[in-house]
Amino acid sequence: MFSNLKRLTSLMLLASAASSVLAAPAPVSDLNNTSGSRASSGNESTVERLERLIQNSNLVQARMQQQIDGMSQEISDLRGQIEKNNYDMQQMLTRQRELFVEVDKLREQVNSQPAASSNAGQQSDGSASAGTFSTNASEQEAYQNAVDLILKKRDYNGAIDAFKQFQKDYPQSSFTPNSHYWLGQLYFAKKQDKEAVKSFAAVLTFADSNKRPDALVKLGDIAKRNNNAAQAKKYYQQVIEEYPNSSSANLAKEQLK
């Protein structure tokens, strides 16, 4: 982008120099110097000499005008490219900002999850509706390692692989709905919408997950991004109906305006 700006500045300076050349009067021989004229032009009359000088001047001006027109078009193209680059950068920053906001939520949840789970207890059959929390250190470490790839290392591709492996190794974990949700967030940021939809849809199967309303909003956002207004409206309305007092419902209302 900076090279484009430098090139744009150079072209504008060149165009300015060309304009000054066009503005300068064309050289005209001294008509009073008849002896020098006869020596250089032979039998050429004064009128013919003036016509030739005017014709040459017109040719020079025409060539300069062509160059200026070409530079103007190139400047216009560069401006369009700069505007596109600025827009793409803003889009990228917006996606990164959304991801970092969700990552902060993840950090808070990871810090509070073990304490909350240890007080929750288990059902009589040894399982819970949203997955059974295990005190197995390897399970917690596997989940924490996946989280650290996002929070500490900013290795989003590695985090995707880690969460997918976690789901295979611990399908009944209480962290499973969260792992689906964060996979959806990572895919969403990478614009891999098909994979993001699968992950967010998996979160919806966990009725007690606190990530369910957020997943509904994200499904609406994906539908909206893919120009499916009817489907997006359906997801937003579902959030408002099922979670009317949630922050996700507020986001859905904003999207429906």
Domain contains 116: no
Dist CA 210 CA 25 (whole Å): 79
201 closest CA partner among 225, 165, 175, 177: 177
Per-residue pLDDT of 95-154, as tens digits, reads 656 666 666 555 555 555 544 343 333 333 333 334 444 455 588 889 989 988 888 888
Domain contains 122: no
113 closest CA partner among 80, 82, 147, 153: 147
Average pLDDT across the chain, whole number? 75
Same domain, 46 and 142: no
**Percent of the chain clearing pLDDT 70 (strictly above):** 63
The answer to whether the CB of 256 falls within 8 A of the CB of 236 is yes
Q: How far is CA 230 from CA 55, 183, 203, 243, in A?
A: 67, 25, 21, 20
Give the model's pLDDT for residue 4: 56
pLDDT surpasses 80 at 164: yes
Give the model's pLDDT for residue 162: 93
Domain contains 97: no
Give the model's pLDDT for residue 133: 45
H helices within 121-192, ranges in order? 137-151, 156-169, 176-189
Domain contains 96: no
Domain contains 119: no
pLDDT surpasses 80 at 60: yes
The overall pTM is greater than 0.75 = no
pLDDT band of 209, cuts 50, 70, 90: very high
Same domain, 70 and 149: no
Q: Last residue of a domain, which of 73, 89, 105?
A: 89
Q: In CATH, what number is assigned to the domain containing residue 148?
A: 1.25.40.10
The domain in which residue 39 lies consists of 2-89
Q: Last residue of a domain, which of 89, 123, 153?
A: 89
Dist CA 142 CA 88 (whole Å): 35
Higher local confidence (pLDDT), 134 or 53: 53
Give the model's pLDDT for residue 58: 84
Same domain, 138 and 234: yes
Domain contains 214: yes
Q: How far is CA 62 from CA 28, 56, 66, in A?
A: 18, 10, 6
Give the model's pLDDT for residue 3: 56
Instruction: Please give the average per-residue pLDDT across 62-78, as a whole number.
Output: 83
Same domain, 145 and 80: no
Same domain, 138 and 252: yes
pLDDT band of 48, cuts 50, 70, 90: confident
Query: How many domains would you assign to the chain?
Result: 2
Give the model's pLDDT for residue 101: 61
Same domain, 85 and 142: no
pLDDT surpasses 90 at 241: yes
Domain contains 51: yes
Domain contains 137: yes
Give the model's pLDDT for residue 116: 38
pLDDT surpasses 50 at 90: yes
Q: What angle do CA 132, 155, 101 make, to 5 degrees?
A: 70
Dist CA 239 CA 215 (whole Å): 9
Give the model's pLDDT for residue 57: 84
pLDDT band of 61, cuts 50, 70, 90: confident
Same domain, 7 and 68: yes
Instruction: Please give the average per-residue pLDDT across 25-50, as a whole number.
Output: 56
Same domain, 135 and 251: yes
Same domain, 79 and 155: no
Q: Last residue of a domain, which of 89, 113, 139?
A: 89
